Protein backbone atom coordinates (compact mmCIF):
# COMPACT_ATOMS: atom_id res chain seq x y z
CA UNK A 1 0.00 0.00 0.00
CA UNK A 2 1.36 3.45 -0.90
CA UNK A 3 2.03 5.76 2.04
CA UNK A 4 0.84 9.37 1.65
CA UNK A 5 3.37 12.21 1.25
CA UNK A 6 4.38 14.11 4.39
CA UNK A 7 3.41 17.31 2.55
CA UNK A 8 -0.28 17.38 3.45
CA UNK A 9 -2.50 20.45 3.80
CA UNK A 10 -1.74 20.78 7.52
CA UNK A 11 2.02 20.91 7.04
CA UNK A 12 1.67 23.17 3.99
CA UNK A 13 -0.25 25.72 6.06
CA UNK A 14 2.36 25.54 8.80
CA UNK A 15 5.09 26.22 6.23
CA UNK A 16 3.17 29.04 4.58
CA UNK A 17 2.40 30.57 7.99
CA UNK A 18 6.04 30.38 9.07
CA UNK A 19 7.34 31.94 5.86
CA UNK A 20 4.69 34.63 5.44
CA UNK A 21 4.25 35.66 9.07
CA UNK A 22 7.92 35.20 9.95
CA UNK A 23 8.96 37.32 6.98
CA UNK A 24 6.37 39.99 7.71
CA UNK A 25 7.31 40.24 11.37
CA UNK A 26 11.01 40.58 10.55
CA UNK A 27 10.25 43.22 7.91
CA UNK A 28 7.84 45.06 10.24
CA UNK A 29 10.46 45.21 13.00
CA UNK A 30 13.29 46.40 10.77
CA UNK A 31 11.10 48.91 8.95
CA UNK A 32 10.02 50.51 12.23
CA UNK A 33 13.70 50.97 13.14
CA UNK A 34 15.13 51.91 9.75
CA UNK A 35 12.29 53.60 7.82
CA UNK A 36 11.63 56.25 6.68
CA UNK A 37 15.01 57.59 7.91
CA UNK A 38 17.79 55.28 6.76
CA UNK A 39 21.12 57.02 7.38
CA UNK A 40 23.39 54.21 8.49
CA UNK A 41 26.81 55.84 8.75
CA UNK A 42 28.48 57.32 10.75
CA UNK A 43 27.19 55.90 14.02
CA UNK A 44 25.61 59.13 15.29
CA UNK A 45 23.62 59.34 12.02
CA UNK A 46 22.34 55.80 12.56
CA UNK A 47 21.47 56.59 16.17
CA UNK A 48 19.57 59.72 15.14
CA UNK A 49 17.77 57.88 12.34
CA UNK A 50 16.63 55.10 14.66
CA UNK A 51 15.63 57.62 17.37
CA UNK A 52 13.51 59.58 14.93
CA UNK A 53 11.90 56.46 13.51
CA UNK A 54 11.04 55.20 16.99
CA UNK A 55 9.70 58.66 17.93
CA UNK A 56 7.44 58.60 14.84
CA UNK A 57 6.27 55.09 15.71
CA UNK A 58 5.53 56.18 19.29
CA UNK A 59 3.35 58.99 17.90
CA UNK A 60 1.48 56.48 15.75
CA UNK A 61 0.91 54.17 18.74
CA UNK A 62 -0.30 57.13 20.83
CA UNK A 63 -2.71 58.18 18.08
CA UNK A 64 -4.75 55.01 18.70
CA UNK A 65 -5.60 56.49 22.12
CA UNK A 66 -5.62 53.10 23.82
CA UNK A 67 -2.61 53.46 26.12
CA UNK A 68 -0.94 56.41 27.84
CA UNK A 69 1.86 58.42 26.13
CA UNK A 70 4.41 56.85 28.50
CA UNK A 71 3.20 53.34 27.65
CA UNK A 72 3.31 54.29 23.95
CA UNK A 73 7.00 55.15 24.33
CA UNK A 74 7.64 51.77 25.97
CA UNK A 75 5.79 49.91 23.22
CA UNK A 76 7.60 51.90 20.51
CA UNK A 77 11.00 51.04 21.96
CA UNK A 78 10.26 47.34 22.58
CA UNK A 79 7.92 46.18 19.82
CA UNK A 80 10.28 46.44 16.80
CA UNK A 81 12.89 44.22 18.48
CA UNK A 82 10.22 41.79 19.68
CA UNK A 83 8.85 41.51 16.13
CA UNK A 84 12.32 40.81 14.70
CA UNK A 85 13.08 38.12 17.28
CA UNK A 86 9.68 36.44 16.97
CA UNK A 87 9.86 36.57 13.18
CA UNK A 88 13.29 34.94 13.13
CA UNK A 89 12.22 32.25 15.60
CA UNK A 90 9.20 31.47 13.44
CA UNK A 91 11.32 31.27 10.29
CA UNK A 92 13.87 28.98 11.93
CA UNK A 93 11.05 26.85 13.35
CA UNK A 94 12.52 26.27 16.81
CA UNK A 95 9.89 25.62 19.52
CA UNK A 96 7.23 26.42 16.93
CA UNK A 97 4.18 25.98 19.16
CA UNK A 98 5.35 28.60 21.68
CA UNK A 99 6.25 31.30 19.16
CA UNK A 100 3.30 30.59 16.89
CA UNK A 101 1.01 31.11 19.91
CA UNK A 102 2.81 34.35 20.81
CA UNK A 103 2.48 35.66 17.26
CA UNK A 104 -1.21 34.71 17.14
CA UNK A 105 -1.85 36.64 20.35
CA UNK A 106 0.06 39.66 19.06
CA UNK A 107 -1.80 39.59 15.73
CA UNK A 108 -5.11 39.34 17.60
CA UNK A 109 -4.09 42.43 19.60
CA UNK A 110 -3.17 44.34 16.42
CA UNK A 111 -6.46 43.31 14.80
CA UNK A 112 -8.47 44.49 17.80
CA UNK A 113 -6.70 47.89 17.82
CA UNK A 114 -7.03 48.41 14.07
CA UNK A 115 -10.70 47.35 14.02
CA UNK A 116 -11.51 49.68 16.91
CA UNK A 117 -9.81 52.60 15.16
CA UNK A 118 -11.63 51.83 11.90
CA UNK A 119 -15.05 51.53 13.57
CA UNK A 120 -14.47 54.84 15.39
CA UNK A 121 -13.52 56.48 12.04
CA UNK A 122 -10.15 57.58 13.41
CA UNK A 123 -8.09 59.39 10.78
CA UNK A 124 -4.72 57.93 11.73
CA UNK A 125 -1.80 56.03 10.26
CA UNK A 126 -1.70 52.28 10.76
CA UNK A 127 1.83 52.25 12.22
CA UNK A 128 2.19 48.70 10.88
CA UNK A 129 5.38 49.32 8.94
CA UNK A 130 7.90 52.17 8.96
CA UNK A 131 6.32 54.31 6.26
CA UNK A 132 3.11 56.30 6.85
CA UNK A 133 0.08 54.24 5.78
CA UNK A 134 -3.49 55.42 6.28
CA UNK A 135 -5.69 53.07 8.28
CA UNK A 136 -8.48 51.89 5.97
CA UNK A 137 -10.85 48.94 5.60
CA UNK A 138 -8.13 47.11 3.67
CA UNK A 139 -5.91 47.32 6.76
CA UNK A 140 -8.59 45.51 8.77
CA UNK A 141 -9.00 42.90 6.01
CA UNK A 142 -5.24 42.36 5.78
CA UNK A 143 -4.80 41.99 9.53
CA UNK A 144 -7.78 39.62 9.69
CA UNK A 145 -6.19 37.41 7.03
CA UNK A 146 -2.84 37.35 8.86
CA UNK A 147 -4.52 36.62 12.19
CA UNK A 148 -6.50 33.77 10.63
CA UNK A 149 -3.29 32.36 9.13
CA UNK A 150 -1.51 32.67 12.48
CA UNK A 151 -4.38 30.89 14.26
CA UNK A 152 -4.48 28.05 11.73
CA UNK A 153 -0.71 27.68 11.85
CA UNK A 154 -0.80 27.48 15.66
CA UNK A 155 -3.67 24.97 15.77
CA UNK A 156 -1.99 22.75 13.17
CA UNK A 157 1.36 23.01 14.93
CA UNK A 158 -0.24 21.64 18.12
CA UNK A 159 -2.04 18.91 16.13
CA UNK A 160 1.16 18.00 14.33
CA UNK A 161 2.89 17.59 17.67
CA UNK A 162 0.11 15.27 18.92
CA UNK A 163 -0.38 13.26 15.73
CA UNK A 164 2.79 13.52 13.70
CA UNK A 165 2.82 12.07 10.18
CA UNK A 166 4.13 8.48 9.99
CA UNK A 167 7.15 9.61 7.95
CA UNK A 168 8.19 12.22 10.51
CA UNK A 169 7.24 10.38 13.71
CA UNK A 170 10.01 8.44 15.53
CA UNK A 171 9.92 4.69 14.75
CA UNK A 172 8.41 2.47 17.46
CA UNK A 173 10.82 -0.03 18.90
CA UNK B 1 19.94 20.01 12.45
CA UNK B 2 21.44 20.53 8.93
CA UNK B 3 18.07 21.80 7.72
CA UNK B 4 17.92 24.31 10.56
CA UNK B 5 21.45 25.53 9.77
CA UNK B 6 20.48 25.90 6.10
CA UNK B 7 17.37 27.91 7.04
CA UNK B 8 19.33 30.13 9.42
CA UNK B 9 22.01 30.68 6.77
CA UNK B 10 19.43 31.61 4.14
CA UNK B 11 17.79 34.07 6.51
CA UNK B 12 21.19 35.64 7.29
CA UNK B 13 21.92 36.01 3.57
CA UNK B 14 18.54 37.70 3.00
CA UNK B 15 19.15 40.09 5.87
CA UNK B 16 22.63 40.99 4.60
CA UNK B 17 21.22 41.63 1.12
CA UNK B 18 18.49 43.85 2.54
CA UNK B 19 21.13 45.73 4.55
CA UNK B 20 23.23 46.24 1.39
CA UNK B 21 20.19 47.65 -0.43
CA UNK B 22 19.50 50.02 2.47
CA UNK B 23 23.13 51.23 2.51
CA UNK B 24 23.04 51.87 -1.24
CA UNK B 25 19.72 53.69 -0.89
CA UNK B 26 20.90 55.79 2.02
CA UNK B 27 23.89 57.40 0.26
CA UNK B 28 23.61 61.10 1.05
CA UNK B 29 23.22 63.59 -1.77
CA UNK B 30 25.67 66.44 -2.24
CA UNK B 31 23.48 69.19 -3.71
CA UNK B 32 23.72 72.78 -2.45
CA UNK B 33 20.78 74.79 -1.11
CA UNK B 34 18.97 76.81 -3.77
CA UNK B 35 15.95 79.12 -4.09
CA UNK B 36 16.12 80.59 -0.61
CA UNK B 37 13.42 83.11 0.26
CA UNK B 38 15.33 85.59 2.45
CA UNK B 39 12.12 86.51 4.29
CA UNK B 40 11.77 82.91 5.52
CA UNK B 41 15.40 82.21 6.34
CA UNK B 42 17.02 82.96 9.70
CA UNK B 43 20.58 83.14 10.89
CA UNK B 44 23.90 83.45 9.12
CA UNK B 45 24.26 82.14 5.54
CA UNK B 46 27.80 81.14 6.49
CA UNK B 47 26.68 78.91 9.35
CA UNK B 48 28.31 75.45 9.22
CA UNK B 49 24.91 73.70 9.22
CA UNK B 50 21.86 74.58 7.14
CA UNK B 51 18.44 73.24 8.10
CA UNK B 52 15.55 73.27 5.65
CA UNK B 53 12.26 72.45 7.37
CA UNK B 54 9.48 71.28 5.01
CA UNK B 55 6.28 71.92 6.88
CA UNK B 56 2.49 72.08 6.57
CA UNK B 57 0.65 74.48 8.87
CA UNK B 58 -2.29 72.07 9.21
CA UNK B 59 -0.10 69.09 10.10
CA UNK B 60 -0.23 68.11 13.82
CA UNK B 61 3.29 66.65 13.75
CA UNK B 62 4.61 69.94 12.32
CA UNK B 63 2.95 71.75 15.21
CA UNK B 64 4.65 69.37 17.65
CA UNK B 65 8.04 69.97 16.02
CA UNK B 66 7.54 73.73 16.09
CA UNK B 67 6.38 73.92 19.71
CA UNK B 68 9.02 71.53 21.03
CA UNK B 69 12.10 72.79 19.19
CA UNK B 70 11.71 76.18 17.52
CA UNK B 71 12.36 78.58 20.40
CA UNK B 72 15.42 76.77 21.73
CA UNK B 73 16.76 76.16 18.23
CA UNK B 74 16.50 79.87 17.43
CA UNK B 75 18.08 80.93 20.75
CA UNK B 76 20.89 78.37 20.94
CA UNK B 77 21.84 77.65 17.35
CA UNK B 78 20.41 80.12 14.87
CA UNK B 79 21.15 83.38 16.69
CA UNK B 80 24.66 82.11 17.60
CA UNK B 81 25.58 81.53 13.97
CA UNK B 82 25.71 77.74 14.14
CA UNK B 83 22.61 76.97 12.05
CA UNK B 84 21.03 78.70 9.05
CA UNK B 85 17.31 77.87 9.27
CA UNK B 86 15.10 77.93 6.16
CA UNK B 87 11.33 77.43 6.27
CA UNK B 88 9.85 75.62 3.28
CA UNK B 89 6.17 75.22 2.50
CA UNK B 90 4.95 71.71 1.71
CA UNK B 91 1.13 71.84 1.98
CA UNK B 92 -0.31 68.34 1.82
CA UNK B 93 -3.32 67.78 -0.49
CA UNK B 94 -5.47 66.22 2.26
CA UNK B 95 -5.34 69.43 4.35
CA UNK B 96 -8.01 71.79 3.06
CA UNK B 97 -6.61 75.03 4.49
CA UNK B 98 -2.87 74.45 4.58
CA UNK B 99 -2.19 76.24 1.28
CA UNK B 100 -4.18 79.25 2.46
CA UNK B 101 -2.22 79.27 5.71
CA UNK B 102 1.03 79.04 3.71
CA UNK B 103 -0.03 82.07 1.63
CA UNK B 104 -0.74 84.13 4.73
CA UNK B 105 2.56 83.12 6.33
CA UNK B 106 4.46 83.97 3.14
CA UNK B 107 2.70 87.34 2.90
CA UNK B 108 3.52 88.03 6.55
CA UNK B 109 7.16 87.09 5.84
CA UNK B 110 7.32 89.75 3.15
CA UNK B 111 6.46 92.44 5.69
CA UNK B 112 8.83 90.98 8.28
CA UNK B 113 6.17 89.33 10.44
CA UNK B 114 6.74 85.66 9.68
CA UNK B 115 7.57 84.56 13.22
CA UNK B 116 4.46 85.83 15.05
CA UNK B 117 2.18 84.57 12.26
CA UNK B 118 3.87 81.16 12.22
CA UNK B 119 3.45 80.95 15.99
CA UNK B 120 -0.24 81.94 16.01
CA UNK B 121 -1.05 79.54 13.16
CA UNK B 122 0.54 76.55 14.91
CA UNK B 123 -0.79 77.45 18.36
CA UNK B 124 -4.37 77.77 17.08
CA UNK B 125 -4.21 74.97 14.53
CA UNK B 126 -7.11 72.98 16.01
CA UNK B 127 -9.41 76.04 15.81
CA UNK B 128 -8.76 77.30 12.29
CA UNK B 129 -8.60 73.85 10.72
CA UNK B 130 -12.23 73.32 11.81
CA UNK B 131 -13.54 76.69 10.63
CA UNK B 132 -11.07 77.60 7.87
CA UNK B 133 -10.69 81.05 9.45
CA UNK B 134 -6.99 81.57 8.70
CA UNK B 135 -7.55 85.28 8.09
CA UNK B 136 -9.08 85.85 11.54
CA UNK B 137 -6.30 83.89 13.20
CA UNK B 138 -3.55 85.92 11.51
CA UNK B 139 -5.44 89.19 12.10
CA UNK B 140 -5.40 88.50 15.84
CA UNK B 141 -1.61 89.13 15.99
CA UNK B 142 -1.18 91.88 13.43
CA UNK B 143 -2.21 95.54 13.66
CA UNK B 144 -4.79 96.77 11.17
CA UNK B 145 -2.31 98.32 8.73
CA UNK B 146 -0.21 95.14 8.56
CA UNK B 147 -3.11 92.71 8.12
CA UNK B 148 -4.33 94.94 5.28
CA UNK B 149 -0.92 94.57 3.55
CA UNK B 150 -1.00 90.79 4.14
CA UNK B 151 -4.50 90.53 2.68
CA UNK B 152 -3.45 92.52 -0.37
CA UNK B 153 -0.47 90.22 -0.95
CA UNK B 154 -2.64 87.11 -0.55
CA UNK B 155 -5.22 88.51 -2.99
CA UNK B 156 -2.44 89.42 -5.44
CA UNK B 157 -2.02 85.74 -6.31
CA UNK B 158 1.77 85.90 -6.60
CA UNK B 159 2.51 83.83 -3.53
CA UNK B 160 1.62 80.43 -4.99
CA UNK B 161 4.74 80.46 -7.20
CA UNK B 162 6.96 80.43 -4.12
CA UNK B 163 4.90 77.68 -2.46
CA UNK B 164 5.10 75.56 -5.62
CA UNK B 165 8.88 76.08 -5.82
CA UNK B 166 9.26 74.84 -2.24
CA UNK B 167 7.04 71.83 -3.00
CA UNK B 168 9.06 71.03 -6.12
CA UNK B 169 12.27 71.21 -4.10
CA UNK B 170 10.70 68.86 -1.58
CA UNK B 171 10.01 66.37 -4.39
CA UNK B 172 13.72 66.48 -5.28
CA UNK B 173 14.57 65.56 -1.69
CA UNK B 174 11.93 62.78 -1.86
CA UNK B 175 9.86 64.44 0.87
CA UNK B 176 6.76 62.29 1.34
CA UNK B 177 5.54 63.48 4.72
CA UNK B 178 5.72 66.50 6.95
CA UNK B 179 7.64 67.60 8.82
CA UNK B 180 10.80 66.70 6.94
CA UNK B 181 14.03 68.41 7.99
CA UNK B 182 16.92 68.46 5.56
CA UNK B 183 20.33 69.02 7.13
CA UNK B 184 23.25 70.28 5.03
CA UNK B 185 26.74 70.02 6.45
CA UNK B 186 30.16 69.85 4.78
CA UNK B 187 28.68 69.30 1.33
CA UNK B 188 26.48 66.42 2.47
CA UNK B 189 22.67 66.42 2.63
CA UNK B 190 20.66 64.40 5.13
CA UNK B 191 16.85 64.45 4.93
CA UNK B 192 15.04 63.28 8.06
CA UNK B 193 11.27 62.73 8.13
CA UNK B 194 9.25 62.97 11.32
CA UNK B 195 9.24 64.69 14.67
CA UNK B 196 12.22 65.08 16.97
CA UNK B 197 12.53 66.36 20.50
CA UNK B 198 14.86 69.27 21.24
CA UNK B 199 17.23 66.92 23.11
CA UNK B 200 17.53 64.66 20.06
CA UNK B 201 18.04 67.66 17.78
CA UNK B 202 20.64 69.19 20.11
CA UNK B 203 22.65 65.97 20.29
CA UNK B 204 22.54 65.60 16.52
CA UNK B 205 23.48 69.21 15.78
CA UNK B 206 26.35 69.08 18.27
CA UNK B 207 27.67 65.96 16.55
CA UNK B 208 27.31 67.53 13.11
CA UNK B 209 29.05 70.71 14.26
CA UNK B 210 31.92 68.77 15.82
CA UNK B 211 32.61 66.83 12.61
CA UNK B 212 35.95 67.70 11.04
CATH code at position B181 = 3.40.30.10
Least confident of A39-43, A65-69, A140-144, B132-136: A39-43
Asked whether residue B60 is assigned to any structural domain, the reply reads yes
Query: What is the chain A residue with the closest CA to B182?
Result: A37
What pLDDT does A132 receive?
A: 83
| Contact indicator for B110, B153 with CB cutoff of 8 Å | yes
What pLDDT does B179 receive?
A: 95
The number of domains in chain B is 1
What pLDDT does B29 receive?
A: 44
Which of A39 and B82 is assigned the larger pLDDT?
Answer: B82
Mutate to test the interface with B, among A28, A35, A36, A38 (most CBs of B within 10 A): A36
Whether the per-residue pLDDT at B145 is higher than 90: the answer is: yes
Give me the residues of B, 34-93, that contact A with CB < 8 A: 61, 64
Mean pLDDT over each residue of chain A, to the nearest integer: 90
Asked whether residue B44 is assigned to any structural domain, the reply reads yes
Whether the per-residue pLDDT at B156 is higher than 70: the answer is: yes
Q: Are the Cβ atoms of A88 and B26 closer than 8 angstroms?
A: no
Rounded average pLDDT over B40-55: 95
Q: Which domain holds residue B76?
A: 38-210
Whether the per-residue pLDDT at B20 is higher than 80: the answer is: no
Asked whether residue B13 is assigned to any structural domain, the reply reads no
What pLDDT does B15 receive?
A: 74
Q: How far is A160 from chain B (nearest CA, A)?
A: 18
Whether the per-residue pLDDT at B28 is higher than 50: the answer is: no
- Sheet of B188-193, strand order: B41-42, B83-89, B49-55, B180-185, B188-193
Residue A38: which residues within 8 A CB-CB, separation 6 or more? A49, B22, B25, B26
Asked whether residue B144 is assigned to any structural domain, the reply reads yes
CA dihedral sign, ordered B94, B95, B99, B105: negative
Q: Give the residues across from B88 on adjacent strands.
A: B54
Mutate to test the interface with A, among B182, B192, B201 (most CBs of A within 10 A): B192
B13 Cβ under 8 Å from any chain A Cβ: no
Whether the per-residue pLDDT at B151 is higher than 50: the answer is: yes
| pTM of the predicted protein model | 0.82
Rounded average pLDDT over A32-40: 92
Q: How far is Cα B137 from Cα B128, in angstroms, rounded to an integer?
A: 7
Asked whether residue B83 is assigned to any structural domain, the reply reads yes
Domain residues of chain A, as ranges?
Answer: 9-161
pLDDT in tens, B61-78: 999 999 999 999 999 999
Amino acid sequence: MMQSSPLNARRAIIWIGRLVLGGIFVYAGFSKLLLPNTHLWPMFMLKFSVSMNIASFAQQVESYKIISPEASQLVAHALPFLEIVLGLLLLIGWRLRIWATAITLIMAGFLAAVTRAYVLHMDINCGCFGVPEKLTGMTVVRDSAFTALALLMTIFAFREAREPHPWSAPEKA
Amino acid sequence: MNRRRFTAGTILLCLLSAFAVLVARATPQTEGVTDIDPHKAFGSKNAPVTMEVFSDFQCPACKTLFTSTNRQLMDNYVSTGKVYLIHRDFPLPMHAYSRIAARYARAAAQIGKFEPVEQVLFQNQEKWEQTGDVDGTVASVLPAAEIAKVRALVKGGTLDAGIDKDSALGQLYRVSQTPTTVFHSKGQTYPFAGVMTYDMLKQFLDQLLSQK
